[in-house]
A and B are shown apart, each in its own frame.
Chain A
Amino acid sequence: MRDGTILEARNLTKRFRIGNRDVEVLRGISLKVQRGEFVAVMGPSGSGKSTLLQLLGGLDRPTSGDVILDGEIVSQLSDREATHLRREKTGFVFQFFNLIPLLDVYENVALPYTIAGVDPRHGAAAARIRDVLEMVNLVWCERNRPDQLSAGEQQRVALARALVGSPALLLADEPTGNLDYATGGEILNELWRSCDERGQTIVLVTHDARAAAHADRVLVMGDGKIRDEIQLGRRKDSGAGPLIARLAQLGL
């Protein structure tokens, strides 16, 4: 792991109004993520882990507290500034892939460049797109549309799209939640390799212990708070045994 904090959350709270009552989803969360670190966030449904991920990625604003990404206080940015921050410093992978059905694989992966006004067919952008497609082993289907791919392939396209801009932070929300065991394993290995080989910082939200076992560190959430932190350390073997044992101790 390299030195330096890239992401910090300070006393984050988030309240939603549902009907006539306020529901506090996050209750004062603070955390730090180091550059190149792979952090997993676990917890039961409704524990607030997806909300935390959305705040960390600048998709939503906290009710109180701050998110600091690569030195910038995300929660104080205007919508326009937050948009630029997301464009330049984050990448997202979602449970349901969220590819644009009308665009082919290449165009989907190139989307961050397209949005930024960079021609994805020429120069450094084209080279980078080709690199990530090779990395996720999808060069063969770059002209295919999403509906012509398997679920695993679609998620690899989504991963390639998240990585193509070399974001400072990759945020993944249940990326294996919609995949079978073997395909999910492939995606987790891709994530792990990008972190281990290229120093990609990753925050992964999951309720799957096997997925979380790939992380360096696991934050366990419950009732809108971080209830525990499990240091697993970087290792080739991503066996979930020790983590499951610890989770069992926590009653999860």
Chain B
Amino acid sequence: MRRLSSLAWRNLQARLLRSVLTAAGVALGVAVLFASLSASATMDAAVSRAAADEMGHSALRVQALEERGLSRETVALVTKAAGVEVAAPALERKTYLAPSAALTPSATLPAPVTVLGIDAVAEPKLHDMPLSGGRLLTAADTLSAVITETLASGERLQIGDPITLNGAGSGPTDFSIVGIVAGDGSVPEAAGRLVMVPLSSAQALFGVTGVTRIDLSTGPGVTADELIGQLEATIKTEPYLLARTSDIADSLRAETADFRGTLLLVAAVVLFAGAFLIFNTLSMTVTERSREVGLLRAAGTTRSQVMGLVLLQAFALGAIGSAVGVVAGVGLSSLALSWVNSTGPISLDAPDISIGSVLLALLIGVLVTLAASLEPAWRAGRIPPVEAFRRGPKGAVAGAARLRWLVLVFAVLAIAALAVWPSGSPGGSGATLAAGGLTLSFGLLGPLVVYGLMLVAVLIVPVILGPLLRLAGIPFRVFRNEERLARSSLARDISRTTLTAGALVMGLAMVVALGTAAASVRQIGQRWLAETIPGSELLTSIHPISPTDPAIEEIAALPGVKSISPIALFGVPLGGVRQEAAAISGKDFAADGRLVFVPDGGDPATAFAALDAGGAVIVPKSLANQSDILLGDTLTFATGETQTKLRVVGIVAHSLPGDSQEAVLVGWTDALGPFGATGADFFAVRYQPGLESAARPEVDATASQYALESADLGSVRGTVGDALDRVFRLLDALALVAVLIAGLGLANTLSMSVLERGREIGVLRAIGMSSRQIWGMVVIEAGILGLAGALIGAVLGLLVGGLLVAWSSGGFGLTFDPPWVSIALAVSFGVLISVTASIYPAGVASRQSIVRALQHE
């Protein structure tokens, strides 16, 4: 066997170009896989770190569901609950540093800061606050503040400096900086811009009496679950959420789970494409060497030895390719992480490169290579000794063999994917790929269906290839003879052609599918804002302000402004889960008239009037369908001891967007009453027709004076779209690696084909075909194959994209509207890659000596 192994090695060396191209294909596949695993592990670690930072040493967090927060009574009840050792209540709000309010009217607002009002005694017991200077807050402090190192360096603040915070209650208040804590602090969403002040001072600053959360540690011998039971029995007066560190980590993890899942799906598709390359190459080599194998068999080599020989070659290609792939994957992972870093609340560090992920990528790379080589190895073992006496190469790979092989590789990859599937993505629902409030959401079943669909599509290719080649040949008919010969050559071995096109089909299908999903999500985002916001500009406040605030009245009175409508977003407890709700002015929406009611969804005028009167709710169609809500039904909200019951007065096609679902619409009476909203989060500004451009500068300047950030709907749409584009572009780029692998496969197949057809090409040259015509024939062959593969890929991609869109509808009712220009570009790219891959083999074919070619066997 040792000598045979040297034969395997020599065989790889003898066909160096083919070996290099195949190993490069494996390397590309493993690089994407490694980048996917590494990015996933990095996100996972970052999520755990963020959850740990947020919870500190707490066992449990009691989170207010309503905007007004948990009342003093509730805080007292929780603090005194049996099993509670330390209770650290805190109020979290966003605001601007005071100097920003004095900016010139045209200036844009700076980044806000997060103010955390804390219990100076309890908080340090549950959250580490490593000081880089000064001291922590004490119980005696009132107008003292501790800031983070990040904020201090960003704003050039020092200990002893005053820091003036804009408030909603008492107006701007001066605090004195007494300490600086290292790093970003314990609130991930603050992105390092965190100011900690005494709880009572924070409550006074923002004019509230409640707290947003209470962190708890348990006494000796008390578990978090026991404490949960205790609290559930104790607090019945207002709605709240209970979360352990693991719950917070799971919730954060769920935000990235589908992104990681999609990365893994793309990696699986790219590896599958790599498997096509390996299978095709080894298959061709076995066919090419059938006489040599026959000789070995005639000389006494056993079937298993011959199989071993092929598997050994595959192992060498897989090991070398995987090793190179891991190295390339490190770079790819860094690029991917830096590319997506700006899309989520969690900050990502350098890629996580553990020995485990390196070994896993190597193992999967080699396993897939071996799985792809099993069929050719098995076939080589069955070459009879009599083959040694035959002339010329053997025939095509049987269809059944291909089926066996495809199913085998599919299974290996599916099992590998299941083994490393990201946690936090329960099958079917929940997990989302979120960007700018829009989501692409699916579970484990979705990717498996997509993956299986690709397998089925590739298995169908041989059936439709004939007519498809004729169709794909049409653009090349200008070169009639070359096109005819090229097409005939492709039809010669349907199996090989299918496998060569297979990688291209899958790569492009993935690109088109992701593009379709991205376009649909982006488009619905645009339509949805335009359909639901009663105005062309939004003024956003970082803390709720009263709908009747003098600032709003001042802006409403500016020339050119037709109306200014207050909107608040908050959570309400419905059916045991958090439902997003929006408080709106029915009168404004009725006057605007753009909200679309579904047929039998109620009369808009009546519904809006009922909303303003109170006791009424308008629900979006998505929620109505999901929960079987009908017009006239009564929805019960668990707002405390006395439940709030609202009558459904309307069902709308699309409602205002929340963080992850469409909001139910309630009137301001209910919002400020039982639901505990404290004010509007943003105001929709509608201008008099034709006066917007003249009136806007003054509106923006006035808004800026009151720390309201202005943005027109176009820029909101742009932000949402940009965030989505970054994520989808990354996935597209990774999927394009499969197309590159297809290019390598094509170069391999065409090189082999040119070699096999040496004599045929010699004859064509001898009877008058010019070298340019030969060159053209090979290039056209690649062009036809590329176009055929790209067309199948595009159709498959549209199908998969449609499924992704359907699964991702979430609360927003996505529509399927494929980006035809992008699809045409993807198809062109597929053809371009194919044609590029053919340049070398075409050159070899055209330069071939006629005499040598005629001597070719």
Measured CB to CB, the residues of A under 8 A from B are 54, 57, 59-60, 79-80, 83-84, 86-88, 91-92, 94, 96, 98, 100-103, 111-112, 114-117, 161-162
Contacts and interface: CB of A to CB of B under 8 A. Distances in A.
A59 B488 contact: no
A219 to B, nearest CB: 20
A117 B776 CA distance: 14
B480 A98 contact: no
Contacts of A59: 765-766, 850-851, 854
A112 B771 contact: no
A101 B492 CA distance: 9
Given A59-B851, A88-B768, A102 B480 contact: no
B759 interface: yes
Contacts of B759: 96, 98
Interface string B149-168: 00000000000000000000
A96 B856 CA distance: 11
Contacts of B302: none
20 contacts: A59-B851, A60-B850, A79-B770, A80-B770, A83-B765, A83-B770, A84-B768, A86-B767, A88-B768, A92-B763, A92-B767, A96-B759, A98-B759, A98-B763, A101-B492, A102-B489, A111-B767, A112-B768, A114-B481, A115-B768
Given A59-B850, A60-B850, A117-B481, A100 B763 contact: yes
Given A86-B768, A115-B768, 15 more contacts: A59-B765, A59-B766, A59-B850, A59-B851, A59-B854, A60-B850, A83-B768, A84-B770, A91-B767, A92-B763, A96-B759, A98-B762, A101-B492, A115-B764, A117-B480
B484 interface: yes
B448 interface: no
B760 interface: yes
A162 B763 CA distance: 11
Nearest to A99: B763
A146 to B, nearest CB: 11
A83 B765 CA distance: 7
A115 B854 contact: no
B849 A83 contact: no
B763 A94 contact: yes
A13 to B, nearest CB: 16
Interface in B740-767: 759-760, 762-767
A117 B484 CA distance: 12
Nearest to B849: A60
A101 B491 CA distance: 11
A116 B773 CA distance: 10
B733 interface: no
Nearest to B771: A79
Contacts of B762: 98
A98 B488 CA distance: 16
Given A94-B763, A100-B763, A102-B491, A116 B768 contact: yes
A79 B767 CA distance: 13
Nearest 4 A-B pairs (CB), nearest first? A87-B768, A102-B488, A98-B763, A83-B770
Nearest to B481: A114
Interface string B479-503: 0110011001101100000000000
Nearest to B480: A117
B481 A83 contact: no
Interface of B: 480-481, 484-485, 488-489, 491-492, 759-760, 762-773, 849-851, 854
A13 B450 CA distance: 66
A100 B768 CA distance: 14
Contacts of A96: 759
A51 to B, nearest CB: 8
B476 to A, nearest CB: 15
B92 to A, nearest CB: 74
B845 to A, nearest CB: 14
Contacts of B764: 100, 111, 115
Contacts of A88: 768
Nearest to A111: B767
B86 to A, nearest CB: 83
A87 B850 CA distance: 14
B484 A54 contact: no
Contacts of A117: 480-481
A202 B609 CA distance: 104
Nearest to A100: B760
B766 A92 contact: yes
Nearest to A57: B766
A98 B856 CA distance: 11
B71 to A, nearest CB: 85
A164 B27 CA distance: 52
A60 B481 contact: no
Nearest to B391: A96
Contacts of A114: 481, 484
A115 B762 CA distance: 14
A87 B767 contact: yes
Nearest to A54: B851
A117 B769 CA distance: 10
A102 B481 contact: no
Contacts of B488: 100, 102-103
Nearest to A117: B481
Contacts of A115: 481, 764, 767-769, 773
Nearest to A85: B768
B753 to A, nearest CB: 12
A83 B850 CA distance: 11
A60 to B, nearest CB: 5
Nearest to B760: A100
A218 B765 CA distance: 28
Contacts of B770: 79-80, 83-84
Nearest to B770: A83
A83 B492 CA distance: 27
Nearest to B852: A60
A97 to B, nearest CB: 9
B854 A98 contact: yes
A103 B492 CA distance: 10
Give the interface centre of A83, A84, A100 by most chain B CB atoms within 10 Å: A83
